[in-house]
Structure formats: structure tokens, C-alpha cells
Amino acid sequence: MQSYGMLIDGRMVNTAEQDPVINPAFGEPFATCARGTKEHVNQAVDAAANAYKTWRKDEAFRRQKLNECAAALQAKVNDIAPVLSQEQGKPVNQAMMEIFGASMWFSYFASLEIQPEILQDDGAKRIQVVRKPLGVVAAITPWNFPVILLSWKLAPAFLAGNTVVAKPSPFTPLSTLMAAEALREVLPAGVLNVLSGGNDLGAELTRHPEIRKISFTGSVATGKKVMLAAADDLKRVTLELGGNDAAIVLDDVNPDEVAEGLFWGAFQNSGQVCAAIKRLYVPEQLHDSIVAKLVDRAKRTKVGNGMEPDVELGPINNDMQFQKVLGLVDDAKKSGGKIEVGGERMGSKGYFLPPTIVTGLGAGAKLVDEEQFGTALPIIKYKHLSDALEQANRTHYGLGGSVWSSNPDRAEEVAREFESGTVWVNQHIDLSPLQPFGGHKWSGIGVENGKWGYNEFTQVQVVDTKRA
């Protein structure tokens, strides 16, 4: 069984103590990785702090290195993608797309224009607002998109002049460690350090006095713990947390035209997307037609081991999440919901639940009120659009949402009523490096991506020069 090491100060470091990594298609370990300790945290942070002294000084050099990072990931895509598929569960072609996406994020930030803001420039004064790096950043990433979400943090952090200590989820550490090994070939030692281990290691990292910012993507519960840990030292935080995203179909749509988009908006990556459609509201007169279209698409979807050809959906990533989704589906049955398709575990090995569509539920049902993060979608009938909007916003979450209509202008008016960081019209989960992404309410603090995401890794300094 292959073992994977951590990146500390430009060296790949392995340990005698190893953690198994489970392939969710079989529910069995297929590799191991190093188990980091508090001492490894100290070594990594010290290396990052030392590298920061010179890394922060040359922006042109950093931009060159970001382009080299993009090329390094592309060169290793055929090596990393199969490992990502095996540890996360997603089909290998989607794993390849994730790595190419990470490369694109590095390329985007390599060319992002950053100019000082001039507030006054005359004979008396020149007042500039400049952005400076924060120092050593902790980047903590989740298990659903481990490589691309790492790039969301690394690329802007590096451009700003910060150095980084990253920690992936213990469920999916291997692709991150492989990406780190590729990037160490182009980055100066200490600029990037990657540690693997359990949640206790993340706690050590967030508490470390040399860490000046924490960029975290994960659950609301853990995000609150990160914020508490940061408070004592007044560390800066960016928190991208969960979502219970609603999609509202308006009464003028053609079900044939929206069914495919709705299906993949809900079930992409086996529903393990923070901004996926988690609740679908449809008007009474279109309910049966849309349900039928989605059920048909679900039945035609190939579910299986992501390493097999033509698989569209893989397993749920881990047993804990699998049991949660099964529990929500079981509660839906007990609450009067009708299972239109799916609803039962597939096979005896691995964590497979085929696309499951449930009708007959409303507010108060756990599958509607809680974030399922898996292959189960409640479809909720509504009579008045105002009721659908009220239900969509009646949640602690506020990450994303979408509106579907044959009239985009009308849909955009409805979209503005959503209490969420992003609202899509006639699409869902369409993201790019140039647009900010973040949540309202419990779905997060701060944003990632674009110039706004870059700003999150900087601190403002005013340079006020008297000339006369």
C-alpha cells in the first residue's frame, strides 16, 4: 500500500505513524499518508515565516511562479487524477477537470492587475492606499473538491505575498500532497507547506501564534470553532461554509429545457457541492412534469466506481456522510415523503446512494431544512411565488440559489430577492476565478476569487506624503 508524505520547507516528509485513506467505492483503505504532529506544525510555520521575508518583496517573481504552478499541475494531471478519483469518489474525468480548473485559477491570478488607489495627488499631497501581505496564512480545505479549492486559497495568497501552510481533509489528503509535490518543483522552499493528519492538527494550526490569517472551507460547526480559535489572537478569517441552496422554477419554463440543468445543479459530484441545489421549488402546474423529467434523468444516470468508464456519479465520500444522507432519506419516508426514484443503498460495498428524488415534503422536514450534501433532492410544490421566496430564505444558510424562467429579466428580478451570496439565472454552480464567491448568514464570512478574494489576503496601508 503506497504511502504519501507531507511538504515541509521544500522537502517531502513521511512519518512512522500513518493514517489510512479509504476508497469510498469499496469502503476500504487503498493508501496511507503521514500523520502530522504539533512539531510538524511548528516546523511548517517556521519555514513559511522564514520564506515570507523574501517572498513578499518581488511581485513580478511571484507572478512568474504562479504561471509555473499552473503548468506544473497540468503536467501532473494524469498522475493526480486517478488518486483524486479513488480517495474522493468522483469519476476520473471529473477529477481531471478539477485539476485543470486549479491550474486555471493560478493562471488567472498570475495576470490579475493590482494598482494602488490614489486618493489625492497634487502639489500639496500624495495619498495612496496600498495593499500589503498579511504574513503566514493557514489554508484548510474540504474533501469534496480538495485540489481546486486549495488553488482558490493559494493563488491569491501567493500573489499578495503571503506564504501558506495548508491542511487537507483527512478523508482526501493524497491529491493535495501530490499537488504539493508538483508545486515544490517551482516554488521556493517554505512558500508552500502541506500537512496531513486529523482534525486535531487543524486545531493546532489555527491556534499557532505565527499564523496571521485562516482561510477555511468546510462545515458551519467547524467554521465556528475556527472563528473562536482566531479570536484570541485577532487573526483574520475567511470562512466558506455550508449551504442549503434553493432553486425556484417559475411558471413560464419549458420543463424539457430546464431538466438537465436542474438535475446537474443538484447532483453534480454526487450532490457534494456546497452550493448545489438542495431544495427545488416548482409551481403546482409544472410539478408533475418536472418531477417526471428528473426521475427519467436519474434512471439514466450511471452510478459506480469513478475509475470505471462512463460513470457519471460516484459514491458519497465517507461513511459518516453516507449515514447522514441515508438518515435524512429515511426521515423523509417517515415524514410522508414519496420516494420517486432511488432511496435505497446500492450494492453491499462502498457508499453508493443513486440519485434520489423525494416529493410531498415541505418546511419542517429534515431533508428540506438541513443540508444533505449528497444524492437526495426534495422537490417542493408551491402555489404563489411569494411563498416560494419566503421558504427559500427561511434558513440560517445563504450561499447560493437559482431562478429558472423563459424570461431572464423577470428571473433576475426574482433573483435579487434571494438572501444569498450568489444567485444564478437559468443555471447553477457556474463559477469562475474572476467572480467573488461567499455566503450570507451562516454560510460564511468574506469571499474568495476575483479581486475581492485577493483583497482578503491583504491588509490596507495608507501612505500619506506631504509635498509642500
Residues catalogued as catalytic: 240, 274
**Nine cell digits for residue 401:** 440559489
Are 107 and 332 a contacting pair, CB within 8 Å? no
H-type alpha helices, 341-394: 366-369, 385-393
Which parts of 245-374 are beta strand (E)? Answer: 245-249, 277-283, 338-341, 356-359
Phi/psi for 247 (5° steps) reads -115, 135
**Cα separation of 422 and 218, whole Å?**
18
**Cα separation of 287 and 380, whole Å?**
8
Residues 6+ apart with CB under 8 A from 351: 24, 27, 89, 315, 316, 317, 318, 319, 321, 322
- β-pairing, 338-341 vs 125-133, is unpaired
Are 454 and 109 a contacting pair, CB within 8 Å? yes
